[in-house]
Amino acid sequence: MAANPQGQSPPSLAEERQRLTRSRIRQAAMEVIARRGYDATVDEIAELSGVSPRTIFRHYESHDLLIAATVKDMFEAGARPIENLPSPADDLDGWLKGLALAAHTRNVEILGNAFWDLHAHNSQRSATLAELGAHRREYRRKAMRSLTTLAWRSAGGTGEPPQDLLLAFGLYLSAFTAHALTVDFDQTPAQNWDTHRRHLEDASPASGGGATLRRCCRRGWRSRGLIQAQHAPTGG
């Protein structure tokens, strides 16, 4: 068997089949768990993936390990790069809109009903499933911190972004917000974004309501004495 340019042998036919099988299980599990949450059964996933339950247990030792691995796959799928997203340095408003649309769409389509199980307290759950809550919290805080910092610095901010900006990102890009508006008020992800946009643009910071990113940046800069008022970004 010939080696590739990196000196590694190509995968064997058996390894390729195993990879394909695992991929089919993974995709089926994500679809079923998004629809059924943690109540998804191995039989349901096996039927959709076209493999037997026995085959699934060759790849995952238990139902709970399958659920846990799939939810982590959902997190990764939700964090994949967003196509055609403008650079925040070039088009901050366009970046925010694209980011919000993608976040709300992925929260509903990828995470689905698994969202409710992730946040529900159940003392009867196994340690494997209980750990997902801590994993979700760590993953989300890291993601929100990264996005907020990127937006803050793209708008001209220096140092760490203000806490109210971080909390605004946490609220408006949250899966809870996406599910609440979609399920309870029958809104689409695009309508969710429009609701957030109007709230951010129309609410006055002085009234204790929301504030646009630029207003948050301007307020943060002034409070820290980093720049003079006339140097703050315009608009928004």
Give the tens place of pLDDT for each residue, 79-132. 888 889 898 888 878 888 888 889 889 988 999 999 889 888 777 888 888 888
Domain 10-71 adopts which CATH fold?
A: Arc Repressor Mutant, subunit A (1.10.10)
Give the tens place of pLDDT for each residue, 121-170. 777 888 888 888 888 888 889 999 998 888 888 877 778 888 888 888 88
Say yes or no to pLDDT of 24 above 80. Answer: yes
Nearest to 172 by CA among 149, 150, 151, 193: 193
Going through 20-60 in order, the beta strands assigned E by DSSP cover none
Tokens 């504030």 correspond to: 211
Instruction: Please report, for the chain, how many H helices and E strands are present, in that order.
Output: 12, 0
Mean pLDDT score across all residues of the chain: 80
CA angle 142, 200, 213 (to 5 degrees): 55
Tokens 């059924």 correspond to: 36
Quote the pLDDT of residue 47. Answer: 97
| Whether 232 contacts 222, CB under 8 Å | yes
pTM of the model: 0.74
Start-end ranges of CATH 1.10.10.60 in the chain? 10-71
Say yes or no to pLDDT of 71 above 60. Answer: yes
Which residue type sits at 225?
G
Question: CA-CA distance, 40 to 151, in Å (whole number)?
Answer: 38
Alpha carbon distances (Å) from 100 to 65, 80, 134, 162: 31, 14, 24, 20
